[in-house]
């Protein structure tokens, strides 16, 4: 008889069922060790294509590849046991057709073991969201500021702050909600708009520069820990561990140069006899 673990990993239907309930907590994760620290406290972890900027120093998320997402998705799955893991589909891997999106999503889910994928775009991606959802792929949507479209947008800026653009974003959210997205990220849009979308769509909304009325919130882990040089307005630093890391490295370097590290307790004596 097999023995099942008492802990069950959360699923996309679990997140969808949280609409209007206890707020959903989420953070990004890219490594096994940080996933292990985050896992007990969040409902889902997003392996975001922001890893291109956070881990690799890229200026945008556009150069990120599917292989990069899979590698880090595997790491986060190894480091976690409870939270749903969602993996971003990177730019160029799904926009061509619903069939392309399904092939990419199927590969990501198979090779990482993650429970869902996320893609950017509203009305223009509704057909793709429906195609994936109908074929058993849980899809998290993402509207408002969509970083993969930065070359079209021109800069990272808040959207939906005037009536015309707000109407377009609302239509985007409605479209992918109706297409079957199990949740929708609302990034960098006006607070009243994020609140309105949350009230009008069936799946839960996840705010990042949205509204406290959203069904949940997400931040980039490194941003909220104070490890990023520049952060958007919507980020609150819950810690500032960057200086602490710098101080630890400085102390290490000093002791190495002074030959006070390693000490006797850090080296191996020969065996006697």
Q: Annotated binding site: which residue ranges?
A: 49-50, 88, 118, 120
Q: Which residues are annotated as a binding site for 3-methyl-2-oxobutanoate?
A: 49-50, 88, 118
Binding residues for Mg(2+): 49, 88, 120
Residues annotated as part of the active site:
187
The answer to whether 32 and 112 have CB atoms below 8 angstroms apart is: no
Instruction: Report yes or no: 138 and 102 within 8 Å, Cβ to Cβ.
Output: no
Start-to-end Cα distance in the chain: 50
Q: Is the dihedral of CA 205, 226, 36, 93 positive or negative?
A: positive
* Cis peptide bond prior to 262, omega within 30° of 0: yes
Phi, psi of 141, rounded to the nearest 5 degrees: -90, 175
Residues 6+ away with beta carbon under 8 Å from 243: 226
């Amino acid at each position: 008889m097999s023995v099942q673990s008492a802990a069950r990993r959360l699923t996309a239907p679990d997140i969808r069922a949280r609409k209007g309930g206890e707020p959903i907590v989420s953070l990004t994760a890219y490594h096994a060790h940080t996933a292990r620290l985050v896992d007990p406290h969040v409902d889902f972890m997003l392996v975001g294509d922001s890893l291109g900027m956070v881990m690799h120093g890229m200026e945008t998320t556009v150069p990120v590849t599917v292989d990069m997402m899979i590698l880090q998705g595997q790491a986060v799955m190894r480091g976690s046991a409870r939270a749903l893991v969602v993996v971003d589909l990177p730019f160029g891997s799904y926009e061509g057709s619903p069939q392309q999106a399904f092939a990419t999503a199927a590969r990501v889910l198979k090779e990482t073991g993650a429970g869902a994928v996320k893609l950017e775009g509203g009305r223009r991606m509704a057909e793709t969201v429906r195609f994936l959802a109908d074929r058993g792929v849980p899809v998290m949507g993402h509207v408002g500021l969509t970083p993969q479209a930065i070359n079209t947008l021109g800069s990272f800026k808040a959207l939906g702050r005037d009536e015309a653009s707000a109407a377009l974003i609302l239509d985007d959210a409605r479209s992918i909600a109706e297409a079957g997205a199990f949740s929708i990220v609302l990034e960098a849009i006006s607070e009243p708009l994020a609140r309105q979308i949350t009230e009008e769509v069936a799946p839960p909304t996840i705010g990042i520069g949205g509204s406290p009325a959203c069904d949940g919130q997400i931040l980039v882990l490194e941003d909220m820990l104070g490890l990023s040089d520049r952060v958007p307005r919507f980020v609150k630093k819950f810690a500032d561990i960057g200086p602490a890391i710098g101080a630890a490295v400085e102390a290490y370097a000093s002791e190495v140069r002074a030959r006070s590290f390693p000490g006797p307790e850090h080296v191996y004596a020969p065996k006697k006899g």
